[in-house]
Structures are given as C-alpha cells and as structure tokens.
Structure 1
Amino acid sequence: MIKNYFKIAFRNLKKNKGFTAINIVGLAIGMAAAMLIMLWVSSQLNFDNTYPKSDLIYSVGSMEQSDKGPDVWFSTPKPLYEVVKNDISEVKQSSRFNNAGGFLFTYDDKKIIAKKGAFVDSAFLQIFELPLLKGNPKTALVEPTDIVLTKDYAMTIFGSTDVIGKSIKVDSTEVLKVSAILDEIPSNSRFAEMNFFVPWTWMEKINFSDKNWGNSSVNLFVEVYPDANLDAVQNKFKTITQKHSDLKTENFLKQIGDNYLYNDYKNGIAVGGRIDMVKIFMIIAGFILLIACINFMNLSTAQSERRAKEVGIRKVVGANKSSLISQFLSESILLSIISGLLALVIVFLLLSPYSDLVGRKLSLPISNFYFWLSFIGFILLTGLFAGSYPAFFLSSFQPIKVLKGKFVQFQQKISPRKILVVTQFAIAVIMIISTLVIRKQIDHAQNRDAGFNKENLIYISESGDIKKNIELIKNELLSRGIATSVSRTMSPMTERWSGWNGFSWEGKDPNNIINFNRQSADDKVVETLGLRLISGRDFDLKKYPTDSMSAIINESAAKIMNLENPLGTQFVDGDDKYTIIGVIKDFIQESPFRTVTPTVIEGANMWVNTLNIKFNPKLATQDALSKTEQVFKEYNPNYPFDYQFLDEAYAKKFEETQKTGKLATIFAGLTIFISCLGLFGLAAYMAESRTKEIGVRKVLGASIFSVTKMLSKEFIVLISISCLIGFPIAYWAMNKYISDFSYRSEINWEIFVITAVLALLITVLTVSYQSIKAAMANPVDSLREE
C-alpha cells in the first residue's frame, strides 16, 4: 500500500513539473537556510560546553557596588588562586589564565613575534582536557621552562610536530622547551585562537606576576568535585576576597558555558546577552521554514480543481478519508525527501563561505548517527507539516458534487489560502524592517564621533630594546619628518587595560563608589591621538617635568567628580597624588554602542607600554611605514617590525554586530525570495485557472493593463494587509532589540514607508509577469472549446 502511495505521488509530481519545481526549490532553500542557522545556533549553545568536564568547570566572577548599581566582571586578583586552593575544599583543581604576547620566539634563523598565547597554571590542561597530539597533560606545564604549542604553531616555528624537547629562545634571554603539542582546538572554545601556553611559574620568574589584591586582571577557572554542594561553594566564594583584603568585592561561580551565553548583567543578575541573539535566529529559522511550508500548502490547495475528480472517483470506488490523507501526505513527504537531499547539497556547498561569514569553523557531523536520525526526522516533520492542510482539504471533497462538475471554488473574502499568504508576507515584512533597523544601528554607531583622530596613526607594542632606546626612536621619527608627533600610552586607545574605583579627591562622598577607566601617557598624547581639549593643556615633560604626576580627564569624569573648575584639582590613586592639567572631550575606548565611561589619563609616572606614531600627512602611507621600519631595525634589530593601524583596530569593534547584520540581511533576502517563489506559482495558477474569463474580457474590449490590474489587485491587497500586521510586531521587536544599546538610533517612520514600498514593488514585479503573459494571450485559443 505504501509503495503504491509513493508511486502515485511520484506520477502526480512528475505530471505538474512547474509547480513541483517551485515547491522543491522553495522547500529546499528554506530547509537549507534553517539547517545553516541551526548549525550556527548549535555552535553558540555548545561554546565552552564541549570540554569533557564542562559541567564541573566554573569561571570565577567578581561583583562590587558602584554609583550605577552592582558592577559585574570576570577577572580576579592573582593571589586569589592560592587562597582558593587552600580555603575551599570542594575545589578539585584550579588555574589562572592571563594573555601572553609580544615575546620574540627564535629558532635557528627564524624569528616570530609571539601572539595569542597565555600564562596558565599546571592544572590547566587537566581541567579542560584540550586535545593533545603529543605529551602528558599532567606534566606538560609543571616546569617553569615548559611551553605547550598548537600543532599549527609548531609547524610555523619548526616545520614539524615532532618537536618534544626542542628549545625556543625567548627575547634572547630565556629558553623554553616544548613539552606538549595540542591538536586542533575546537572553534567553539574560548581557547580556539591560542597558539601557545606557558606556565605561571615562568611568569613569576620573569617578574610579570604580582600579589596585588587591587589588580583584578586575570581569569580564574575552577573544577569542583562531582559531589560538591554548589550552594555551599558559592557561599564560601562570596566573602573570600573580603577576608583576605580591604576590598569590598564579592566573588561567585558561573558555569563556563553559561558565562559565554549570558553575558549581560543588570543589578548583578544575568538578564541575557548572546543568548538573546541565539533565540532570535532560532525564530528566524522557524520563520523561513514556515514560509517554505506555506508555499507548499498554497500551491497544493490552488490545484484543488485538478485533483477534485480524482478524489471523487477514489471515494466512489471505496477509498476512505484516511487513505486519501495518507496518499496526499505521501506526496508531501516524497517532495520533502527530494528537497531535503537538495538542501543537504546546498549546505555542503555553502558551508565554507558561511563559516567565514560567521567567523567560526562549522561542519556537518556526517559520521554521527544522531545527525542522520535528526535529519530524517527533520525531513519527515517538514513533509507532514507542509502536507497536513492540503491533505485534509483535498480529502474533504464530496464525490457527488465534483463528479457532477459542480465543484466550484468561490472567491471568498477570507480563505485559508489568503490567511497563509498574509502570514507569509507579514513575516517577510518583519524580516525586512529588522534588517533595516539593525543596519541603521550599526551605521549609527560607526558614524559616531570617536573623540580622537584615527587617520595616519599606528601603534606598536614596546618589546625588545624599544623601551631602552625610546628617546632615540622618537627623535629619529620626528627629525626625519616621518612623524608629526609621537606619544606613549598604557594601552592602545581602542582598548581598556585598567579600571579603578579607588580614586579620591576633595569633596568626594567616601561612600560613593565610581568606576573609572584608567589610561596613562607621556608627552603630546592629545596632539598625537587627536584628542580634543575643552580646557587646560597637553602633557609636556620637557617644559613641565612635574607632568609625570599630572593627569588629563574626560568630560564625563569632570561631570561625575562634580568639579566646577577641574584644572589644578588633585586626586589620589593609591599612594600617588595627581594634579589635573586638562579636560578633553569624551572618546570611545570600549564599545561604540555604550555610553563613555569616566576616564583618567595619568602622567608618565604610571607605566606605559604602547608607542603611538602619527605619520606626516605629506608622506605616502607606504613610504612612512618603510621609513619607520628602518628606524626600528636600527634601534630594535632583533625584533620584527610589528604594528597596527588604529583605524583598523577601531573597526574591529563592529565585527560581531556586522556579522549579525550580514546574517539578518541574507536570511531576510531568502525569506523574500521564497515568498516570491510561492507568489509566482500562485499567480501562474490563477492566470491559468482564469484563462476563459480573461479571453471573454478581451473579446469585450478589455485592455492588457485592465486585465493585469485585475489579476494583481488581490495580491496587492493581501500584501497591504501583511504590512499592517507586520509593522507593529516589527516595531515592538526592534524597539526591544535596540533598547539594549546605550547609544542607539531611532526607529522612524521612513523605515516603514521603505518596507511597504519595497514589499508592494516586489509583489507587483513577481505577479505582473504572469499577469501580463495571460493578458497578452490570444483569446481565440482560450475560447476555442466553447
């Protein structure tokens, strides 16, 4: 019986090639889009959740009251590690994690500036169980001279992975031995981009570590015992920093996977974050698949007259309703199988560029039995859903009426088919508006005044002999006309390396906790970076040697410090006292979608690590770079010339939102395309079913325009209704989306006008081809049988 169902189904699909092709293509694209989205969703949900013991691994968070309520961050002071080991018995093992980079790795005549590495404790590899190609995770990070490399980095340095025991010279003074080689780290791990790991004991040996409880700068991960009482552990962590320091910081544990997805906090409670975008794209996947299924429903029911007599004869010869339903469902399942296989091919072809787009290596787990089980279930469910309404609709025909030729489809004002079309295009309208709002929000932030001049500006990390020869390097760059100004800072101006809430000044309420960003600089920082002075002056150590203990603050800091005349005011930072000599306009150091944090730029007494060079605009950029490289080869000969353009670093702040915008645009486009595909099929069937009516109208003098208008009118009305339904839903959803941004654009009426015009234009273009084709047909051909 089932074999017979599929045989008849195949014949029916073959008989109506045009509609079958539209159904297969639409459903295949919808299924492929849904699969691609779900691959991305899966990678997000599994981020940091694929470690063998991920359910036992926690990141240690910190929370402290501020002027804006509880402030949450996931870094800790370095000495907390030892206290946790000694005081909390439920913790099996733990490890700190601190980024390491800027070292010069030398092997034979090969020199590489080491980037994307980390200092970790000896238990790190045992906690996370990263895939090892060679080496022992228990001993790989025990000795201070150990280094663990990824296989790709081992190939870069040595040209081989068979390098256990080989030595790497570091900064011409230290020697590290390769103790283990890591296999490829999964792309959904926070460590995916790491190239090497070195022991914390080596960090202490080279004096990069400290015991300062006030310096909250490293990540701390703990593995708890399986039988540990988590509530009891949380209570112990809550006061652990307060017991060992003068800080008021509370600590807590967050499961490592949840730490990635739930990264937005309000009043000290996780209220969302990346998980919100995951949910949105899951809804988008459902919408796209729903639209593809609606196409199938509409085209199947539109052909009801052709199938009416078939249903009547089957019922007369004894077929019951359930057998007819089975027949029609078998057709939809067969079509779903063909579409599913085509969708799988599409996914395979698009997987590589799609992975590049989302910035994560995605793959289909074709060797996994559960993947194929899920894929088969996905096809069957899609087929059953898409075919459910047509099956019940077609099987309900009364045989007496259809066999007497009295079966007529009345032009109902409200019909299931019209409701489906309206639903389909309401979703498309919502997608269009969402894409336009996201794009506008990104453009709004990109056009925001950064507060400094990013053009012709590079920065260099001070490694090797740069610090020793800094004055010589500065003089060479300026005297040779390569640069117009040079200044050193703690960090690149696009990165926040230090924050502090312990500043005090005259008139400050001691109970008022205010978080500041802390930067530092030497001479000419305002001039070099193009910062804008509101009052006061720039740092000038030659003219004012005391500027090493001076400070420049931004306008947000001046406002929150409640200083009417900030110039000359002193504030205390730990044991140091700084005098304010200048106030600058706010500049964006963190997210361009957030309000600017009060910022203090302290003088050269504070440590500096980044050299900023403002090129002479009279020189071509390539010429300036070439001459700058010559200077650094002379004064820092053992290190490659490694630099970064400030405007490129600033552009990276938009990468994640731009990826979201591109994804939304692509899937909105697919939604529109699938909707138009169904509309095209419906228009073709409507024109075909009204051939005789069109012939009569033309004989009576109707013009091509009037016939085209008649055939297009119904669709235009339906799309207009879709806009009226979609607009308020889209406004509510997008208003909620942009409310998460402190610096946001407005949703204005132009977006809705553009969407309405676009939707109607797409409808007219889609329908008009079939309408004009029908209107231009010779009426003699359509009326010949009469």
Structure 2
Amino acid sequence: MTASRILNRKNKGFTFLNIIGLAIGMGAAMLILLWINFQWSIDRVYPKTHRLYVVGQQDVSTNNEIAVWFSTPKPMAAVMKAEIAGVENLSRLSGINGLLFSVGETKILSKVGSFVDSSFLQLFDLPLLAGNPSTALRDPSQVVLTEKLAISLFGTSDVLGKTVQLDSTQQLLVSGVLKEVPKSSRFTGYEYFLPWTLMEKMGYSDEHWGNSSVNLFVEMKEQANIAAAQAQLKNLIKRHSEVSTQSFLKPIKESYLYNTYKNGQQVGGRISMVKTFSYIAGFILLIACINFMNLSTAQSEKRAKEVGIRKVVGAPRFRLIGLFLRESLQLTAIAGLLALLLVMLFLPVFVGIVGQEVNIPYLDIRFWLLFVGFIVFTGLLAGSYPAFFLSSFNPIRVLKGRFQQLHSKFNPRKFLVVTQFCIAIVLIISTVAIRKQIQHAQDRDFGFTQDNLVYMMEVGDMKKNYPLIKHALLERGIAQSVTRMMSPLTERWSGWNGFTWAGKDPNEVIQINRQSADDQVVATAGFTLLQGRDLDLAKFPTDSMAAIINETAAKAMGFKDPLGKTFNDGNDQYHIIGVIKDFIQESPFEPIKPLVIEGANGFMNTYHIRFNPKLSTEEALAKTEQVFKEYNSAYPFQYQFVDEAYAFKFMETQRTGTLASLFAGLTIFISCLGLFGLAAFMAESRIKEIGIRKVLGASVFSVTRMLSKEFLLLVSLACLIAFPIAYWIMDQYLAHFSYRITLSWDIFLLAGAGAILISMLTVSFQSIKAALANPVDSLRNE
C-alpha cells in the first residue's frame, strides 16, 4: 500500500485527523523531552563531572529536625585539602554583584560574579578564549571577564593584559577571557571571576567557623575512596571549632535535580518534576497513538473487503500485518516531520514558559538518530492494534457481506477511549489543583505593605553618604520613610541556632532567622506592630542594640511579655523593644519561621524606600534617581520593587501550573479527535440500524440520544476511574507544601463536568449527522 493510497480523496478526512493528532502528540512529547534533556544536563557538562562534589552541611534545627544546606565556613577549604584523603583540588565560591567596572568613560554596573580560588578554572574547565587557566586567578590584581563583558567594556574581546578599574579602589589586569559558559552550567550568567586573594585584600573574608557563607567545590582523585573521605569529612568542623555542624560530599551532577531534604534525608526535588513531565510526555504520546488506533479501526468496513480479497488470493496474515504497519509508519513519518515543524514554531513560546534556554541540537547526529527512532517507535505503537485488528477479518464472512461490526457493550476500542479520558481528567484535576494552590498562597496575608516600596543594594558612596541621601529623600517629600537593612525584605540572608536568652533550655535547638535595620523599619516596611515601638535612633541612641521580633519568635522564645527582655547573638546582647505580626520572608508555601530584626549594630547593605503616595511612581523614581546622582554619581541608579520580588516566589510553581494547563488542553484536544473517530466508527457500524429506526418513525433526537448515550457512559466511567487516581497524585504533590489547600469535591466535579461537556459536544456532531442522514441511502443495498 503506497502513500498515494493512504492519502486518496476518499480517506483524506480520516488521514488528516490521523496526521494532525499524531503530530500534536509527538510535538508536545518532543518539547517535554527537550526540556527534560536540558534539566538532566545541568551541572553534568564539565569534563571532570564524575569527580566533582559540592560540600554540604547538616545540623539539628528547630523541633530537633536535621537541616541541610550547601554553604561552608571560609577556613574549611585549606583544612579539608590538608586532612581529607583523596582530595585532588578544591575551590571556594562567594557570589557578588553590583560592582562597577570602568574603562575610560565606559562604566558598567555588573550583575553576577564571584570570588574564587586560583584552582577554579582548572576544576571546571570552563572554556577560555584567552588566558592560562592555571595562573589567571593567582594574583589579587587579576580578573577574568566573560567575552560579552569584555566587548561591552573595551569594544573587543582581545583584552588580555589590559586594565580595568573595579569600583573606585582597584586597578585590575585582565588575565583571562571566558567564552560563553554552557547554558546547562550553574555558572551561566556569571560575568566575571575575581581571585580569592582580592577578597581577602578588600577585607571581605573571615576565619569564623560559625559563618557558613561560601560554596565549596571539590575535585576528588580518580581512585579516591569516597566512603572513607565522607567519614573523615563528617566531623571536620567539630575538630576545629565548637560548631556542631557535620559535613558531607554530594556529587555535583546530583545537586540540581536532587535538591530537597527532609530531616537530613534526600527526598527528591526537581527530579520529581522531571519524572512527572516525563510521564506526561508518555501519556500525551499514548493518547495520540490511541487516537490513531480509533481513527484507523473506524475505517474497518472500508478495508474489510480489501483484506478478504487479499486473504483469498493467498496473502498470509503476517504480510497483512506488515502492510498495515508500513502504512502506519508512513503516516507517522509525515506526522513526525510536521511535529518537528511545530516544535520549531512554538519553541520560543515554550522557552518563555519554562524560563530556560531549551534548544534543538540540529548539529548533533544523536538527535537525528533519536528522532528517527522516535518516529519508528510511535509508528509501531500506533499501528499495532489496527494492524492486528484489520488482519484478523474472516474473508468468507466479509465477502458474503456478513462482516460483524464490533458494537458490543465493551470492546478494546471503548477501553482505549476510557483510557484517553481517564488520563485527560487526571491532568485537568491536577491543573485545577495546582492553580488553586498558587491562589491559596497568593491570598495569604504576607504581613507587610508592598505598595510604593522599593529596595536597592548599597554600592559605591551610598554607605558613606547614607545620612545625606536619607535626608534629601525625606526633606524633598520623595519618601515617607527610609531604612537600611541586611537583606531585601523578601529574602533571608542569615540565621542560626546559637541565640540564647534567659530561661532557654540549653539542650533545645531553635533555628532563628536574622535581619538587621537601622531606623524606622516598621514604618518603612509597613509591618503591623503588635507590641512596643519602632526602631528610632534619633530619640533612642541605644536602639543600635535593640531588636524587634516577630510573633513566632516570641512564642519560640517562650516570652509572654517580650518587651524589655534580652537575648544574646554571640557576644552581642540585644533588648527587645517591639513585636510585629508575622510576615512572609521566605517561601509563601511554608510556615513562617522565628525572626529577629537587630538594630544598627548589625550588618546592613540594602536600602528600602517607601515613596510618598502623593507622588506618581514615575515622578518618585525620577526624583529618587536625581538624589542618587548627586551622592553616588559614579554608579547607575538601579532598584527593585518589593512586590515584584515577592511575586517572583511564585514563578516556579506558576510555570508548573502553566505547563500542566497547556498539556492538559492538548490532551483533551487529542482525546476529542479520538472520540470523534470512535463516534464516526459507531455511526458507520450502525448506519443500517439507524435507517430502519427512522423508517419506523424514530426522531432525530431519539437517534442522537441513542448514539451519544454510549459515549456519556464511557466518559463517566473514565471519571470514576480518574478521580481516585488524581486524588492520590495531587495529595502526594501537595504534601511538599506545609501551607496547602484541601482537595475539595468541587475540583473533581468541575473536571468531570468539563470532560463530559467537551465529549458530548464532540460526539454530537457525528450523532446529529447520522440522525439526519436519509435512510434510503443506508438501506439501498438491503
């Protein structure tokens, strides 16, 4: 059977639906598989990936649970190199942003960069356009730039040995130029790397074992005994300090996907999402194949006599099976090419949804081999049932005109439709539940006023000129209030379990988040003050050693009347002057943790400004920019709205919801094509019955109801099967959120009603068409 036979005018309707259904299903599966391939490749692109590890820490936290994190104290690197057997090399990484790079009149406020040890480039073998990786980061006067930043500063990438000014204090020699870092590397987006020795020279380093603030990467020797190294590393920090933290090695190739821990145990992470969408890809492809099967077998009456004649002239069944599989492969090849075209067309939209640079590797021969294999696999899967079904016809019964159509109460074709809609309903319920979970978190009281509030990182002369900047903003009516803080309101930069206070059980471990602010933090942030007062250095100079705590911290500390109580943060003692209502600093899907906001004695490098509501946003920003040009003229004015930063917390979950909605919609669409095919098949198989019923006086409505009734039962059965499956899946998904919705009956009712409505609209076209047909045409051959 040739392609021209498949595509003849008589079959063009079914052929078109076959190709479209397969193409959409294959295209959706390809998009997901491209995304999965990218996810799987992250941090697996380095030549030494199999020998690279990141150092993690764990310690007892609140409620005696074990917390896990992947930052280490700065002095740990040297000790680890000396004491742990099997260590080939290692490098620390301390991220930094907001540095000003200047070349002549060209000034660029950098984004993300880091201080690293001199072995960093050798560890990861990042591609250098120029420079020696073994010496490029040895001297504190050196810097390695990306090609993009080099061109922005100098107009060319040929900059080795040229000088660049860092802020207003350092003159650095360009010792290396990096090519574009692979998108699947954790270092993609980094613009520069500075020597660790420069960090020490600038006074940013420390030797405190209790300050876990840098990433530590380790290259182990080829034959290293990892188990023995883990045992040596476990209590390394305890051997050199009074800190009880335990350490461990984690393969860098697992750090991105396996990133979630519960009570010290790895319990999944992004790998769960990868697995989920791999299942979705498989289900979408399966539904497209089921659609193909139904549409192919719907033409059984037309192909029955052809099969009968071939069998009479001696064609064995295996040849007929091969014939139908070949037809399936031809159709699948066409659908595969169309699917690739659809992927190319919609890839930019998909990239915008997932927020990652997913590409089609056109130059990779493995991609094309997999693409051909994908077509063959899909063609065999989609064509298997029609091939065995059509080749099983009895030639004598067929040629005598007594071919028995399959319209029994239940048959494989109906089973396939139930399977299709069961999957589709599960996806619909999942989509609705995810959307409700996102809305549930967004409706949560975030505990502060986001309107007219911006923050900016302290750079250049901002620290020196802070009193002048603050006075200008207030005096000119630009701002209602201004404060400096340790970190943006929506981020946690510090916290530990070493706080002490009177009456604290020395054996109890309580993890408390740490923030700091200099003045008017309640007014600026818009917190709700439950007790006490705001920080006010003008009236109370001792407020530099005062603190405001949230209500969760008051409960954790056991203070019924916290005002006037004191607590110790290391050698510093703070007195509590206020209690604020809990606000969301970290994940909106998790419980709020205890928080202390320490006075001006603490570290601060973030401005928060609440604009005067009488000014428009544009006017307030323009006047604020003018103030910063006066007092920090070397740096461009950059800011971030707090409400935008807060909204970013929902981005990953929203992407999941968007993808689920997209693929649920595609699943429904493809399922409806299959239902359309089965409706056509059923109408064709009962065409003479319909004709007789109409001759005997049956109405169009009664005939339509008769044909639609069976499909209503099929979709209802799919609902009954899908509901418990969807409940279990979403209950497992929501278990990852402490602040979560309850799966209520309305979610299932909405999904079921939607599936039934869509299926009835799909079937009604064929049912009404069959009911309106002239019975004379159907009974002519009787």
Quick check: TM above 0.5?
yes
Correspondence list, 1:345-356, <5 A:
345-356=341-352
Equivalent position of 2:511 in the other structure: 515
* Contact residue 28 and residue 342 of structure 1 kept, 8 A: yes
Amino acid across the alignment from 2:39: Q
Equivalent position of 1:3 in the other structure: none
Q: CA deviation at 1:329?
A: 1.1
Q: Distance in 1 between matches of 2:123 and 2:389?
A: 59
Which segment is superposed worse, 464-473 or 732-741?
464-473
* Contact residue 297 and residue 681 of structure 2 kept, 8 A: no
Match of 2:245 among 232, 245, 249: 249
Amino acid across the alignment from 1:118: S
Equivalent position of 1:184 in the other structure: 180
Amino acid across the alignment from 1:487: T
Listed one character per residue, the Cα deviations across residues 117-172 of structure 1 (whole Å, up to 9, x for unaligned) are 11111111111111222222112211112111222222222222122222221112
Equivalent position of 1:17 in the other structure: 12
Equivalent position of 1:328 in the other structure: 324
Q: CA deviation at 1:283?
A: 0.4
Count, aligned residues: 780
* Contact residue 691 and residue 778 of structure 2 kept, 8 A: yes
Q: CA deviation at 1:695?
A: 3.6
Q: CA deviation at 1:491?
A: 0.6
* Contact residue 588 and residue 596 of structure 1 kept, 8 A: yes
Q: Secondary structure at the match of 2:255?
A: helix
Correspondence list, 1:552-591, <5 A:
552-591=548-587
Match of 1:37 among 32, 38, 52: 32
Q: CA deviation at 1:784?
A: 4.7
Correspondence list, 1:209-228, <5 A:
209-228=205-224
Which segment is superposed worse, 726-735 or 453-462?
453-462
Correspondence list, 1:220-619, <5 A:
220-619=216-615
Match of 1:52 among 26, 47, 51: 47
Match of 1:771 among 747, 767, 772: 767
Q: CA deviation at 1:54?
A: 0.7
Q: Distance in 1 between matches of 2:289 and 2:421?
A: 13
Correspondence list, 1:699-718, <5 A:
699-718=695-714
Amino acid across the alignment from 2:491: E
Q: CA deviation at 1:773?
A: 2.7
Structure 2 runs not aligned, ≥5 long: none
Equivalent position of 2:728 in the other structure: 732
Q: CA deviation at 1:717?
A: 1.1
Q: Distance in 1 between matches of 2:194 and 2:110?
A: 12
Q: CA deviation at 1:688?
A: 3.8
Equivalent position of 2:623 in the other structure: 627
Q: CA deviation at 1:780?
A: 4.3
Amino acid across the alignment from 1:278: V
Q: Distance in 1 between matches of 2:294 and 2:515?
A: 62
Amino acid across the alignment from 1:711: L
Structure 1 runs not aligned, ≥5 long: 1-5
* Contact residue 61 and residue 251 of structure 1 kept, 8 A: yes
Matched, 1:113 2:78: no
Listed one character per residue, the Cα deviations across residues 202-229 of structure 1 (whole Å, up to 9, x for unaligned) are 1111111111111100000000001000
Amino acid across the alignment from 1:63: Q
* Contact residue 291 and residue 424 of structure 1 kept, 8 A: yes
Q: CA deviation at 1:302?
A: 2.1
* Contact residue 422 and residue 719 of structure 1 kept, 8 A: yes
Q: CA deviation at 1:10?
A: 4.6
Q: Secondary structure at the match of 1:147?
A: strand
Q: CA deviation at 1:32?
A: 0.8
Q: Secondary structure at the match of 1:16?
A: helix
Q: Distance in 1 between matches of 2:638 and 2:392?
A: 74
Q: Secondary structure at the match of 2:623?
A: helix
Equivalent position of 2:201 in the other structure: 205
Equivalent position of 2:89 in the other structure: 93
Matched, 1:175 2:161: no
Q: CA deviation at 1:681?
A: 2.4
Q: Secondary structure at the match of 1:632?
A: helix
CA change 1:637–1:410 in 2 (3 A) is closer
* Contact residue 687 and residue 770 of structure 1 kept, 8 A: yes
Q: Distance in 1 between matches of 2:48 and 2:291?
A: 45
Which segment is superposed worse, 217-226 or 60-69?
60-69
Correspondence list, 1:687-698, <5 A:
687-698=683-694
Q: Distance in 2 between matches of 1:433 and 1:214?
A: 47
Q: Distance in 2 between matches of 1:147 and 1:291?
A: 54
TM-score, structure 2 as length reference: 0.98
Amino acid across the alignment from 1:474: K
Q: CA deviation at 1:689?
A: 4.0
Aligned residues: percent identity? 62
Q: Secondary structure at the match of 1:625?
A: helix
Listed one character per residue, the Cα deviations across residues 308-330 of structure 1 (whole Å, up to 9, x for unaligned) are 22222222211112111111111
Q: Secondary structure at the match of 1:137?
A: coil
* Contact residue 688 and residue 779 of structure 2 kept, 8 A: yes
* Contact residue 405 and residue 685 of structure 2 kept, 8 A: no
Q: CA deviation at 1:271?
A: 1.1
Equivalent position of 2:742 in the other structure: 746
Q: CA deviation at 1:332?
A: 1.1
Q: Distance in 2 between matches of 1:144 and 1:10?
A: 72
Which segment is superposed worse, 484-493 or 676-685?
676-685
Which segment is superposed worse, 775-784 or 158-167?
775-784
Q: CA deviation at 1:785?
A: 4.8
Q: Secondary structure at the match of 2:583?
A: coil
Q: Secondary structure at the match of 2:455?
A: strand
CA change 1:280–1:719 in 2 (3 A) is same
Q: CA deviation at 1:475?
A: 1.2
Amino acid across the alignment from 1:53: K
Q: Distance in 1 between matches of 2:637 and 2:665?
A: 44
Listed one character per residue, the Cα deviations across residues 649-678 of structure 1 (whole Å, up to 9, x for unaligned) are 111111111111111111111111111111
Q: Secondary structure at the match of 1:618?
A: coil
Equivalent position of 1:644 in the other structure: 640
* Contact residue 407 and residue 682 of structure 2 kept, 8 A: no
Equivalent position of 2:155 in the other structure: 159
Q: Distance in 2 between matches of 1:156 and 1:176?
A: 16
* Contact residue 447 and residue 582 of structure 2 kept, 8 A: yes
Q: Secondary structure at the match of 2:171?
A: strand
* Contact residue 10 and residue 331 of structure 1 kept, 8 A: no
Correspondence list, 1:671-690, <5 A:
671-690=667-686
Q: CA deviation at 1:261?
A: 0.9
Q: Distance in 2 between matches of 1:97 and 1:338?
A: 50
Amino acid across the alignment from 1:504: T
Match of 2:23 among 21, 28, 39: 28
Which segment is superposed worse, 131-140 or 504-513?
131-140
Equivalent position of 1:125 in the other structure: 121
Q: Distance in 2 between matches of 1:439 and 1:782?
A: 49
CA RMSD of aligned residues (A): 1.4
Listed one character per residue, the Cα deviations across residues 69-107 of structure 1 (whole Å, up to 9, x for unaligned) are 111100000000111122224111111111111211112
Match of 1:62 among 49, 52, 57: 57
Q: Distance in 2 between matches of 1:214 and 1:552?
A: 24
Listed one character per residue, the Cα deviations across residues 212-271 of structure 1 (whole Å, up to 9, x for unaligned) are 111100000000001000001111110111111110010000001211111111221101
* Contact residue 188 and residue 360 of structure 1 kept, 8 A: no
* Contact residue 495 and residue 513 of structure 2 kept, 8 A: yes
Q: Distance in 2 between matches of 1:706 and 1:616?
A: 70
Amino acid across the alignment from 1:219: N
Q: CA deviation at 1:12?
A: 3.5
* Contact residue 66 and residue 512 of structure 1 kept, 8 A: no
Matched, 1:77 2:73: yes
Q: Secondary structure at the match of 2:57?
A: strand
Which segment is superposed worse, 574-583 or 352-361?
352-361
Q: Distance in 1 between matches of 2:533 and 2:770?
A: 77
